[in-house]
Structure 1
Amino acid sequence: MWKAPGFIPTLIAVGAAFGSWALLLPVIPLAALEAGHSEALAGASTGVFMAATVITQVFTPKALRTFGYNPVMLFSAMMLGVPALGHLLGTEAWSILLFSALRGIGFGALTVSESALIAELVPVRFLGKATGMLGVFVGVSQMIGLPLGLALVNSLGYATVYFLAAGVALVAAIVCVWIPRIKAPPKTRSQDQQQDDGAQQSATWKLVLVPALAITSLSMSFGAVSSFLPAAVLELDAINGAVFGGLMLSVVGGAAMIARYLAGAIADYRGQPGATMIPAQIAGFIGVSLMALVLAQQWSVWWLLLAGLLFGGAFGMVQNEALLSMFHRLPRSKVSEASAVWNVFFDAGTGIGSFLLGAVAARAAYSGAFWVGSGIVLIGLAVTVLDRIVGEKRLHRYDNTRARLHRISSSQEPDSVANKQ
């Protein structure tokens, strides 16, 4: 894995870019509030960022085919960094929203590019661990960047954070020079596809829908966890709630990071993804349900530590399983589409979950929001189980990993029979 050309520079670029993003994620809304703007505008700064991110993700696969990974990732890093300096111009509403949207464009192109590039650079037998290691770099960047940005604001001011975010993004841009200059494969039928008798083309959405729904069901609950769990903990324990709320987010993030790599290692060992998907979804359902139960029954906050470990581990496993399942099911020429779909459903789920479950919390308290979140995870689990049952009879023989393994097995079968005779 580590010997794959461009793998290490890609990880460094991703870590630096996500570090730049994490530094500003909590800082921009705080700056808006301190400037006298409403909570709605502060929330809109993140909402505009995510909207620009999702829109950009839809068009990134075409850009990767046209320009290649290297230019797109360089552009992404620059779009994350340069607009950060734009916040130095002031805290007017137009300035906050405009530069948040521009940074969202960079973030959207980056998230699709890095996942797809890993699949292009690393041999299939190491793909699980490689995507897991990608999650480790992203997770570490977030664990450092999120609290560091707020700490620097309190000690050195907003300008320091803006310059630091731009500088870290510049590191990502520089490292992109060492990324191989390759383009995403064009949408053409390969020789293997043409030789595969009886090959059937299936619509992309049919192949990615189930893993997409799986990641969305968990990311919607994550939207509630990241947005409301600290406040819910504070209501539960007014004395230690502030410290414990931050600890809970770290526990969720750390568990997700470790579990994502573990799921990838298991997938590599088995030769295909899927082994941990259903167990992880069950654990995620239990974790979110336990959060709701603790808040409803006013139990000790220490029960939330167990709930955070269960949910975080489940979220990390489902992240990697969903991405690998998309790579596994789709043709090799659609790696960038798989990455785009995964990122769109991940980010859209997080945003929709924050909005939808926030509305539930306003009417039914925080415990009600987490009960609804657990129900959403349960729906995703039911869809995955149903797909697992009917999927035993489905083979999309169209130049994907499963199809290639099927062809190899079929071609070797006559030789095995002859040897036995």
Structure 2
Amino acid sequence: MNQSRTKLWTKDFIIVSTINFLVTIIFYLLIVIIGMYAVDQFHASTSQAGLVTGIFIIGSLIGRMLIGRFIESIGRKRTLFIGSVFFILTTLLYLIHVNISFLLITRLLHGIAAGMVGTATGTIAAQIIPATRKAEGIGYFSMSATLAAAIGPFIGLYMTQHTNFQMIFIFSLALGVISLITTFLVNVPALEVTVKPDELKGFKLSNFIEPKALPIAFVTLVVAFCYSSVLSYINFYAKEINLISAASFFFLVYSVAVLLSRPFTGRIMDLKGANSIMYPAFIIFAAGMVLLSSANTSITLLLAGALIGLGFGNMQSSTQAIAVKLTPPHRMGLATSTFFIFLDAGLGFGPYLLGFIIPVTGYSKLYVILGVVALASSILYYLLHGKKEHAAKAKVNISNAV
């Protein structure tokens, strides 16, 4: 086999991962400070601050759904460029101080732009990764977001202590400009398979959602819903149990666990299939949630972060790889947007829905309940995908034996 066709760390792969890293850093940087900004500058209520935080995810859903439909007709690199320009323009809106309504519109538009860029980078990355290293490559690509998830909140919270909100928005704008400049360096190969003329005509659900990616995307929705409780409420929980200092390192430990495991999990998945990664990940994720529910020391809190990283972090990249592998090359953009639509829906709507449950259960019991849900979702995975992969693998083994 030609080595150039199996090479993973190409210039284009590194550049696309860098763009994804920069855009995701901006997302996480702003998501931890924007609620405080809304309260501080516009005297927003708690529910308004939550809406300002979460409406970005709704925008991202809209952006992904629209661009997944048109990315092939527009062109993947052109979509990335247009999305990056729109992302910068909407970042500029944060510098305009009007009222809470204007901030909500800004967050919605910024989310749409981020959805466009995220779908483009994910689609391009999936295209340029060699078929024999698809899971490994997507795992490495998604590490750009994992790193951003650790660095972004740290930068955001650090800047709130040492500068003002205006400087935070200017810093975000600068990162966006760097990301835009970087898009000019990406070379996206032409697709060998082109879109059929009548395939995307008309207003059909299959023009916005990839049906083959739906089963695994639904599994992603459930586990992302569980993880959203950690992403949104870990600081509140840590304050309640007097571990706020340790909580500042929670996502750093999460990211380190993902970074250390990702090189192995991707290769194992490519060699042995998704089931070999997914089933252990469900157990580890559930164990992390239960441990988090009983955390009373810094060590147990951070250990829970490591387990959740090993579990959910690897499930996230594995399910994305499954969605891409199940889909024809010319519908890879739709598959990518479908995956992220369901991921974002779980992460975005989860905190809002869980907000009604927390007053009844408290944080500790909530994490136990969601740990059980995470474990039970392994059954859902088996029914929607796992048993098909097991049957396909058994068939291959029989053929090889014969």
Give the alignment's TM-score, normalised by structure 1: 0.82
Residue of structure 2 aligned with 1:46, choices 48, 53, 56: 53
1:359 aligns with 2:356: yes
The residue that corresponds to 2:239 in the other structure is: 234
1:162 aligns with 2:169: yes
The residue that corresponds to 1:381 in the other structure is: 378
The residue that corresponds to 1:17 in the other structure is: 23
Residue aligned with 1:330, SS:
coil
1:334 aligns with 2:331: yes
Q: How far apart, in 1, do the equivalents of 2:218 and 2:260 lie? A: 22
The 1:370–1:136 alpha-carbon spacing in structure 2 relative to 1, beyond 3 Å, is: same
Q: How far apart, in 1, do the equivalents of 2:100 and 2:365 lie? A: 33
Deviation by residue 1:374-400 (Cα, 9 ceiling, x = unmatched): 2321231111233466415866xxxxx
Tell me the C-alpha RMSD between the 2 structures. Answer: 2.8
Report how far residue 105 of structure 1 moved: 0.9
Answer yes or no: is the 8 Å Cα contact 2:60–2:112 preserved in 1.
Answer: yes
Answer yes or no: is the 8 Å Cα contact 1:221–1:353 preserved in 2.
Answer: yes
Report how far residue 359 of structure 1 moved: 1.6
Q: In structure 2, what residue type is equivalent to 1:335?
A: M
The residue that corresponds to 1:177 in the other structure is: 184
The residue that corresponds to 2:146 in the other structure is: 139
**Aligned runs of 1:57-206 on 2, under 5 Å?**
57-181=64-188, 186-188=194-196
| Aligned sequence identity (%) | 19
Answer yes or no: is the 8 Å Cα contact 1:224–1:353 preserved in 2.
Answer: yes
1:223 aligns with 2:224: no
Give ranges in structure 1 of 5+ residues lacking alignment: 190-203, 396-401
1:313 aligns with 2:315: no
Q: How far apart, in 2, do the equivalents of 1:70 and 1:357 lie? A: 38
Give ranges in structure 2 of 5+ residues lacking alignment: 1-6, 198-208
The 1:255–1:3 alpha-carbon spacing in structure 2 relative to 1, beyond 3 Å, is: closer
Answer yes or no: is the 8 Å Cα contact 2:139–2:318 preserved in 1.
Answer: no
Which has the higher mean CA deviation after the structures are superposed, 111-120 or 3-12?
A: 3-12
Which has the higher mean CA deviation after the structures are superposed, 126-135 or 113-122?
A: 126-135
**Aligned runs of 1:384-399 on 2, under 5 Å?**
384-387=381-384, 390-391=387-388
Answer yes or no: is the 8 Å Cα contact 1:136–1:261 preserved in 2.
Answer: no
Residue aligned with 1:343, SS:
helix
Answer yes or no: is the 8 Å Cα contact 1:68–1:182 preserved in 2.
Answer: no
Answer yes or no: is the 8 Å Cα contact 1:188–1:333 preserved in 2.
Answer: no
Deviation by residue 1:29-48 (Cα, 9 ceiling, x = unmatched): 11111021112221111222
Answer yes or no: is the 8 Å Cα contact 1:65–1:183 preserved in 2.
Answer: no
Report how far residue 85 of structure 1 moved: 2.0
Report how far residue 51 of structure 1 moved: 0.6
Q: How far apart, in 2, do the equivalents of 1:42 and 1:71 lie? A: 35
Q: In structure 2, what residue type is equivalent to 1:277?
A: M
Q: How far apart, in 2, do the equivalents of 1:371 and 1:393 lie? A: 30
The residue that corresponds to 2:14 in the other structure is: 8
The residue that corresponds to 2:248 in the other structure is: 246
Residue aligned with 2:44, SS:
coil
Deviation by residue 1:325-372 (Cα, 9 ceiling, x = unmatched): 112222222211221111011111112221222221111111222123
Q: In structure 1, what residue type is equivalent to 2:149?
A: Q
Answer yes or no: is the 8 Å Cα contact 2:8–2:130 preserved in 1.
Answer: no
Report how far residue 250 of structure 1 moved: 2.3
Give the alignment's TM-score, normalised by structure 2: 0.86
The residue that corresponds to 1:290 in the other structure is: 291
The 1:110–1:262 alpha-carbon spacing in structure 2 relative to 1, beyond 3 Å, is: farther
Number of residues of Structure 1 aligned to a counterpart in Structure 2: 382
Answer yes or no: is the 8 Å Cα contact 2:216–2:323 preserved in 1.
Answer: yes
Compare CA radii of gyration and give the structure with the larger one. 1
